[in-house]
Amino acid sequence: MKYSRILLKLSGESLMGEQSYGISPEMLSQYAEEIKAVVEKKVQVSVVIGGGNIFRGLSGAAKGMDRVQGDYMGMLATLINSMALQAELEKQGVKTELLSGLAIEPICREMSRSRAIEAMESGKVVIIGGGSGNPFFTTDTASALRAVEIKADVILKGTRVDGVYTADPEKDPTAVKYTTLSFQEALAKKLKIMDLTAFALCEENNLPIYVFDMNKRGNLQKVVEGENIGTEVK
């Protein structure tokens, strides 16, 4: 195995599947199966999911809502997605621990590094909801923060595209895929991989980001085993 402890970052939108909002039971089941496969290989797994399929703080703010209130609503949306993934994993026989940047009894305990590491070392999948617990920070930044906290080997950013391209491959057929990139190259080329705060945290702590297509069955296990099917930023 190339990685022994990972943080998997999923967007809320990825849970929609073919729907226009909400959570697709099919996508949820597929993601849980992918995670279960790597847990069975004794890889320690933590997961952070966005909330964009339910609510986005920034788009709420753009329509006149208070930004802080909107961001807290977005954090609660990430918890709804986290609870859905937890339920599906448990249904498939995978033990989990749900932690959160916002402590909400009796749903979950507050995120702490010691709790997360202890749970992963006991074989549980740790799902971290509630963002960073603070407004003005995205789930990208929360992912970077949590990955650094738990000493993950890598952030695996699961998307619907098989890596980072020179342009949007869904719009530009001439777009070329990068195999590896440095943080500085990604910034200079203005490639939208993660936001700047998340990038700075990863670069400062020598934490690589690996971008890959999470929607193709078996890909998560391939990445963990070291098969180069996406783009590594380091």
Q: How is the beta sheet containing 109-110 ordered, strand by strand?
A: 109-110, 96-100, 125-129, 44-49, 5-10, 154-159, 209-213, 231-233, 180-181
In this prediction, residues 106-130 reach a mean pLDDT of: 97
In this prediction, residues 100-111 reach a mean pLDDT of: 93
**Structure tokens, 226:** 């070291």
Q: Is the pLDDT of residue 61 over 80?
A: no
> Which superfamily is assigned to 5-233 in CATH?
Acetylglutamate kinase-like (3.40.1160.10)
| Interatomic CA distance for residues 74 and 7, integer angstroms | 20
**End-to-end CA gap in the chain:** 19
In this prediction, residues 170-185 reach a mean pLDDT of: 93
Dump pLDDT digits (tens) for 2-58. Answer: 999 999 999 999 999 999 889 999 999 999 999 999 999 999 999 999 999 998 766
Q: Is the pLDDT of residue 126 over 90?
A: yes
Whether the Cβ atoms of residue 95 and residue 45 lie closer than 8 Å to each other: no
116 vs 58, residue with greater confidence = 116
169 vs 77, residue with greater confidence = 77
Which pLDDT band holds residue 63 (cuts at 50, 70, 90)? confident
Length of the chain: 234
Classify strands 231-233 and 125-129 as parallel, antiparallel or unpaired.
Answer: unpaired
pTM for the full predicted model? 0.95
Q: Which residues does 163 contact at the CB level (< 8 Å), separation at least 6?
A: 177, 178, 179, 211, 212, 213, 229, 230, 231
